[in-house]
Amino acid sequence: MKAKVYFADMHCRKQADNKTAKIEKLCEAVGLKNILKKDGLTAIKLHFGEMGNDTHLRPQLVRKVVDLVKQEKANPFLTDTNTLYSGSRKNSVDHLETAYMHGFSPATMDAPVIIADGLNGRNQVAVPVENLKYFKETYIAREIYEADSMVVLSHFKGHLVAGFGGAIKNLSMGCASFWGKRAQHDTKVRVDAEKCIACGSCIKICPAQALSMKKDGDKKSAFADRQKCIGCFECQTVCEPKAVVNEHDADLCNFAERIAEYAYGAVQNKRDKVVYLNFLLNITPDCDCVSWSDAPMVADIGILASADPVAIDKASYDLVTKAQSLHPMENNGINIDKFAHRWEKTHGYRQFEHAAAIGLGSLEYELITI
């Protein structure tokens, strides 16, 4: 049986069809009220955006979901987890300040904002999983695990190692503790000394102090200590000459599969108590974790809703693939994998393929326009 994915495009000529109205229709169609219970705790899982990024989800759209949850007498809270890399969301104090700066505060959202894995990312629950390829247990942020239900709001966009980020990645990296994030990465970087310009940007940003400068004759270059590297890839985002590379490119396929397995672990105790909304707006090449926002790869497409995280990501991927590219190097760019074109060594499609194989959801879907 095909999973149902509800779709609202971006055309609008009246107030009754604006984005918040579309969100209300999508939430009704996907059965939001059916996952909620009176006085139950509902995690609204989103990404607050790194400081300097401005293409993350808009607070007005998130507030509409809060209002709909409260209409059903449930108790919503906005949540995310701290990052593995250095940045404006490394710990809960900085993370909350960033969220408030971006408009996600208790005053504007009419709901608490709670960082789910504690002050430094160690507040977790070990969740057993069975018959998976990589993991026997997953480390999930405690406050997300203990919530009665969850609404997963995902900005669908590119990612330099995952290919793209949608509902599956929002569940996996987004719901994992510090140790869960490390377990998913499980790969290293190295520095191509010939390309390195010895600018030191990677050294400054590395949270594990795994990078240092070395000298070979007259040539200076950065060096990555494999024993210290935690595989967060933050160094790659600031390396202009692209001298920092993955130690094993094949790891990126495994990385996508590990993401799928952590997503599976994130919903083990609430499989029928989660709904998903993917926002195909501002579809940039990079994750909202970077401190900038590139030009969109395609025009805004719409908003999707489903009770199936695999189906909604597959539908989102298909819609972006079919869309006309805005990238000047892709001509009309119709029916090409925009994410693989931008990040050629990634295997984003393995996220939903492996997720379907382990039983997280279905690759077969029915797209229903509302």
248 confidence band (pLDDT: 50, 70, 90): low
Backbone phi, psi, residue 316, to 5°: -65, -45
CATH of domain 3-185+250-369: 3.40.50.11440
What's the whole-number mean pLDDT along residues 244-267?
89
User: What's the pLDDT score for residue 140?
Assistant: 98
What's the whole-number mean pLDDT along residues 171-190?
93
String of DSSP letters for 224-262: E-TTT-----HHHHH-TT--EEES-TTHHHHHHHHHHHH
Quick count: other Cβ atoms within 10 Å of Cβ 13? Answer: 7
pTM of the model: 0.90
User: What's the pLDDT score for residue 229?
Assistant: 92
The reply to whether 189-246 shares the fold of 3-185+250-369 is: no
User: What's the pLDDT score for residue 249?
Assistant: 59
> Would you state the structure tokens that stand for residue 263, as one six-digit string?
């997503």
Closest CA to 125 of 189, 175, 51, 62: 175
Closest CA to 43 of 91, 4, 76, 10: 76
334 confidence band (pLDDT: 50, 70, 90): confident
Return the amino acid letter for 155. H
Residue-wise pLDDT tens digits, 45-74: 999 999 999 999 999 999 999 999 999 999
- Residue, of 246 and 323, whose pLDDT is higher: 323
For the chain, which residues make up each domain, given as ranges? 3-185+250-369, 189-246
- On the question of pLDDT at 167 being above 80, the answer is yes
CATH of domain 189-246: 3.30.70.20
For the ranges 138-142, 314-318, 329-333, the lowest mean pLDDT is seen at 329-333
Percent of all residues in the chain with a pLDDT value above 90, rounded to a whole number: 89
What's the whole-number mean pLDDT along residues 80-106?
96
Residue-wise pLDDT tens digits, 225-241: 989 998 888 898 899 99
